[in-house]
Structure 1
């Protein structure tokens, strides 16, 4: 309390308490006050209004950095690897029968047809499904959004490449004009919505605006929302368009690039050996004779050279440089840590620096995997699930797939989506942990297979074929437990149970 509060406290304690409470409230929100050291920049616009004039610039800057900046290229490469991976997002169909078990025959038929369609899923026929998913993932994260038009059934001028009449036309977000708004028709930034913000249609350019095809490319066409997939990286409620992942670190990345370029130029200049002749006192200067022109002098550099042509008072000096800058790496690494924090990445992955301890690297890997998992689930929700469900619908409607009568129709579209998983740092410890979990009943074999990015049903089929081939060849390994005990004789049910109990360490008394 100040002197006035102390004087009034015995007489008006309630009034003094209100003064103190008001003072605390004011001090608690002092961050909202603009001061000389606190600019208090504010964002008062809506999500759509804030992107109206900035989205195009942000998108173009990110693309340029992806073209020219090695750090940004490596960042998006790593995100592709951790979100989609080499084999793409695996889809494991799990249709159920009326008894609640997986209908293996129908699931296998779906898997086989899906694998065939995955060879050329998009309209040009140039990309496989994993390639298409990686390209769309990069576009989504770099540009903030990506588009695809679904071609279903008979389409004028297009011939489907598969028996399933379904293909995807990949489109960059430039096809969706950011400045096309007509509130009377419910169109905002090229997207048409109803009063409840449900999408009704997309208004797309007929050609890429960057192709310089004239005014004809600027004409738009209305595509119903049921035929479009729009994957967007949104950060605010009600945001219509997506924003690039690098939006918060663009300035930092540009500064790093410019700073490194300046340091490289300085290092190249300092690498050029430069010498000079230091003159003596003015009294030592000997002017040339009348009519004589003194030629420029050069000194050949060689081991053991002796320079004896210096004039009185002259000396040979060398221009020294403090490049390369010894503080460059520390400063650069500090900036890259901030870049990793703003892009859901990890410092080791962005900087390609793996010189930490085992514990530190594992902690970073575990925490970084949470960010990768989040992006992976968003990509599955935005892209993989709509593509698979619409493809399966067209496969059934076209007669390429016939639903068995004993399949529960409510489970036809059920599937498990599997992307890249966190790699094992210590395989022995990881495998031991999984083994203990399975034996204790806290995990199942399918979960272990998926943790290693394997399809459980394919793994079991491969194991069965492998064991059968080994038995035919007379090979016995520790994985074939029954064969080690009983040989070629097939065990009965009681013997199978005793073998299973022995494998899990459970001893039962003989009855």
Structure 2
């Protein structure tokens, strides 16, 4: 009650009660019902700022998520699937798109940049332990599990460091776990908050990094160095505006994952106990049981066995309701809820692929948009800055100098296309027919088709050209030759063989068309 009602209650409790009831009735009329706490609605609230909430819970959530990644199979599977769908085996594919002054792509320069970037990708980090795809998968896993990951651009010559790549490019990456940027480092006078120094507009200008991991027992544990934000990568999961530090992807499902783990462990133990139970021997009357003279009786089991019972004894089997027949349904329901909170798909997390083609494709289509969002997030925060810094330093490569053509539009030198794994195909025939129809209707390009399969369009064209030319040269022309007549020779013998091959190919095409027509009639 308000202070006025409290004062009135001292004189007339009934009057104060009526006033309070009237005030609550008025509040229920003028406001939203969900805004008021009641017996059935808790109306939990979060009034703190974004940085206050992360500061209070971020470190604990990060450590709990790491424990789940180390000990819980489902949590491990969620992160594994995100690695596969966002990064993939080949990492984020980068296709340089430099253009000339007329707007045409310079294929030779693009191919040369891609070759050099591929060579550098063998050893991109300062430790020389990871390839670029491995480093990207580790960076993504850290960002999802811990909420964020940091990386330092090591540009040019640095004391006591030899860049591990062997192509002479003076550029490497130092990947850092979020522990290196301490949550506890706050200085109001210097505008340092949770290890990040900001200006008056809220822009991060410096990142204060520990010289050693805080868990190390040796070294300068609490000494930090300020690194300019332009030299730092910071890939984080942000849920609110003005949020400086990221929050774990598991923040909304951590309790559910812990409950699933504990429940499954309890069910497994109960099933093991149930499997060890056999039967008990019952005596008809308590008077027939001699406590002092009783001994443990061991009975050996074998198929078709019988045993002799004493007078008044009877055998009773112990029945158990384990394994729980409802365990699978309950677990699957919990996994669907967990998948909804992680941008993951239920099928890939639970390994449950039951369902027809339409339902599976619908799930893939919906999941594909989530994958694209995560890929865009990763490319913007990690892959694009890495490629652009590499290309900037590649121009300083003295071992193998990069020669730029005279007709290059220098404003397009850093242009590139970034993409990760694409939506997998359930039925390749239907997918291929759909792409063929879109290309025939000028609604798509062959390059888009190649990228949809996770391939480089230029590389596909080169391989295709070599294959077609080889087949024509050796009279191995197949049905997929775009124009078999181009491979015909002037010699009469070769021409005869080619004509025979063409006739056989046309016959096979006609057979397939007739078979497809018969299948269509039978389907109708």
Q: TM class by shorter-chain length?
A: 0.7 to 0.9
Which residue number in structure 1 is paired with residue 227 of structure 2? 223
Which residue number in structure 2 is paired with residue 145 of structure 1? 148
Find the residue that maps to 2:215 and give its secondary structure: helix
Matching residue within 196, 205, 221 for 1:200: 205
Matched-pair contact (CA < 8 Å) for 1:476–1:484: no
Name whichever of 66-75 and 458-467 sits farther off. 458-467
- Offset at residue 462 of structure 1 (A): 1.2
Are 1:317 and 2:316 counterparts?
A: yes
- Offset at residue 280 of structure 1 (A): 1.7
Which residue number in structure 1 is paired with residue 496 of structure 2? none
Cα RMSD after superposing both structures:
1.9
Matching residue within 65, 68, 71 for 2:71: 68
Change (3 A) 1:120 1:485: closer
Are 1:343 and 2:346 counterparts?
A: no
Are 1:49 and 2:52 counterparts?
A: yes
Which residue number in structure 2 is paired with residue 5 of structure 1? none
Matched-pair contact (CA < 8 Å) for 2:98–2:414: yes
Q: Deviations over 1:119-146 (max 9, x none)?
A: 0000111111111111111111111100
Matched-pair contact (CA < 8 Å) for 1:396–1:403: no
Name whichever of 117-126 and 390-399 sits farther off. 390-399
Are 1:120 and 2:119 counterparts?
A: no
Which residue number in structure 2 is paired with residue 300 of structure 1? 300
Matched-pair contact (CA < 8 Å) for 1:285–1:312: no
Matched-pair contact (CA < 8 Å) for 2:438–2:444: yes
Name whichever of 380-389 and 403-412 sits farther off. 403-412
In the alignment, the residues of structure 2 paired with residue 24 and residue 487 of structure 1 have an alpha-carbon distance, to the nearest angstrom, of 89
Q: Deviations over 1:365-401 (max 9, x none)?
A: 1111111111111001000000000100011133532
Structure 1 residues not aligned, in runs of 5+:
1-21, 490-511
- Offset at residue 479 of structure 1 (A): 3.1
- Offset at residue 24 of structure 1 (A): 10
- Offset at residue 285 of structure 1 (A): 5.2
Find the residue that maps to 1:212 and give its secondary structure: coil
Q: Deviations over 1:81-105 (max 9, x none)?
A: 0000000111000100001100112
- Offset at residue 278 of structure 1 (A): 1.2
Matched-pair contact (CA < 8 Å) for 2:473–2:487: no
Name whichever of 177-186 and 478-487 sits farther off. 478-487
- Offset at residue 28 of structure 1 (A): 5.9
Which residue number in structure 1 is paired with residue 507 of structure 2? none
Matched-pair contact (CA < 8 Å) for 2:169–2:393: yes
Matching residue within 250, 255, 260 for 1:251: 255
Matched-pair contact (CA < 8 Å) for 1:284–1:312: no
Change (3 A) 1:122 1:286: closer
Q: Deviations over 1:187-233 (max 9, x none)?
A: 1110111111222111011111122336x212111111121101011
Matched-pair contact (CA < 8 Å) for 1:449–1:456: yes
Which residue number in structure 2 is paired with residue 134 of structure 1? 137
**Alignment of structure 1 residues 76-91 onto 2, 5 Å:** 76-91=79-94
Change (3 A) 1:276 1:212: same
TM-score normalised by length of structure 1: 0.87
Matched-pair contact (CA < 8 Å) for 1:125–1:161: yes
In the alignment, the residues of structure 1 paired with residue 291 and residue 215 of structure 2 have an alpha-carbon distance, to the nearest angstrom, of 67
Matching residue within 157, 182, 185 for 2:187: 182
- Offset at residue 342 of structure 1 (A): 0.6
Matched-pair contact (CA < 8 Å) for 1:348–1:354: yes
Structure 2 residues not aligned, in runs of 5+:
1-24, 491-524
Find the residue that maps to 2:173 and give its secondary structure: strand
Are 1:161 and 2:164 counterparts?
A: yes
- Offset at residue 423 of structure 1 (A): 0.9
Matched-pair contact (CA < 8 Å) for 2:206–2:226: yes
Matched-pair contact (CA < 8 Å) for 1:146–1:231: yes
Which residue number in structure 1 is paired with residue 333 of structure 2? 334
TM-score normalised by length of structure 2: 0.85
Aligned length: 463
Are 1:280 and 2:284 counterparts?
A: yes
Matched-pair contact (CA < 8 Å) for 1:192–1:202: yes
Matching residue within 209, 212, 219 for 2:217: 212
In the alignment, the residues of structure 1 paired with residue 291 and residue 109 of structure 2 have an alpha-carbon distance, to the nearest angstrom, of 103
Matched-pair contact (CA < 8 Å) for 2:280–2:316: yes
Matched-pair contact (CA < 8 Å) for 1:193–1:200: yes
Which residue number in structure 1 is paired with residue 362 of structure 2? 363
Find the residue that maps to 2:40 and give its secondary structure: coil
Find the residue that maps to 1:478 and give its secondary structure: coil
Name whichever of 65-74 and 216-225 sits farther off. 216-225
In the alignment, the residues of structure 1 paired with residue 432 and residue 316 of structure 2 have an alpha-carbon distance, to the nearest angstrom, of 66
In the alignment, the residues of structure 2 paired with residue 341 and residue 444 of structure 1 have an alpha-carbon distance, to the nearest angstrom, of 34
Matched-pair contact (CA < 8 Å) for 1:166–1:391: yes
In the alignment, the residues of structure 2 paired with residue 211 and residue 151 of structure 1 have an alpha-carbon distance, to the nearest angstrom, of 23
Change (3 A) 1:138 1:283: closer
Which residue number in structure 2 is paired with residue 468 of structure 1? 469
Name whichever of 252-261 and 348-357 sits farther off. 348-357
Which residue number in structure 2 is paired with residue 495 of structure 1? none
Which residue number in structure 1 is paired with residue 384 of structure 2? 385
